[in-house]
Chain A
């Protein structure tokens, strides 16, 4: 158990819909990261927050948005869903954002868009 929790574990929804994925980092961790793993792909970095502020952005679509709240939990919002958005979405956390502060990953949310 990494200490990072993600809800829900599974999500099935239709194209065009909007969903929210939730992540609670390990106690004391200030950085939260979101990664997407599509079929047969490595994990793709989406976005990083540090203590409530956006710190780095990766290949995140404009239809996707995220935020980190004062209690440090984070939400990833996916809208106008397409079939290609079906993937595993991982949240990770670390104490800081620098080397040596290794990422701890949650178990992931499996999103299926039908």
Chain B
């Protein structure tokens, strides 16, 4: 049972344009959502997060949107840069208020390629 799904295995965009990565979830108990970025031969690195009490969180070029009714979140990168090329993982926690929030459920990842 895939509780967090990233239905697009890959996305290709031009430098300077917007990248939109999507993620859907099924578990209504999830209350905290995160995006991680992963380069080859490295571990995932935290990018941005959002609590279920918000619908938007912005950090520089990165914005995450949460639509709880649709159980959908998206990551917008504007403008996209070649250095953003990586695998992006969506993750969710159902224990944000507890001591095991790090028990994250990850999506399968989306490979983003930004062309110069």
Contact = CB atoms under 8 A, between A and B. Distances in A.
Interface of A: 2, 4, 31, 33, 35, 40-45, 48, 50, 55-56, 58, 90, 92, 94, 96-99, 101-108
Given A42-B108, A48-B103, 12 more contacts: A4-B43, A42-B109, A43-B89, A45-B105, A56-B95, A90-B44, A94-B102, A97-B98, A97-B102, A99-B32, A99-B93, A107-B43
A41 B46 contact: no
6 contacts: A2-B43, A43-B91, A48-B103, A97-B100, A98-B98, A99-B101
Contacts of B41: 107
Interface of A is mostly: loop
A35 B36 CA distance: 14
Interface of B: 4, 6, 32, 34, 36, 41-46, 49, 51, 89, 91, 93, 95-109
A92 B102 contact: yes
A31 B102 CA distance: 9
Contacts of A96: 99
Q: Identify the 3 closest CB pairs spanning chains A and B, nearest first.
A: A105-B43, A42-B106, A56-B100
A41 B42 CA distance: 16
A107 to B, nearest CB: 5
B43 A98 contact: no
A2 B99 contact: no
B43 A102 contact: no
A55 to B, nearest CB: 5
A59 to B, nearest CB: 10
A15 B84 CA distance: 38
A56 B103 contact: yes
B43 A97 contact: no
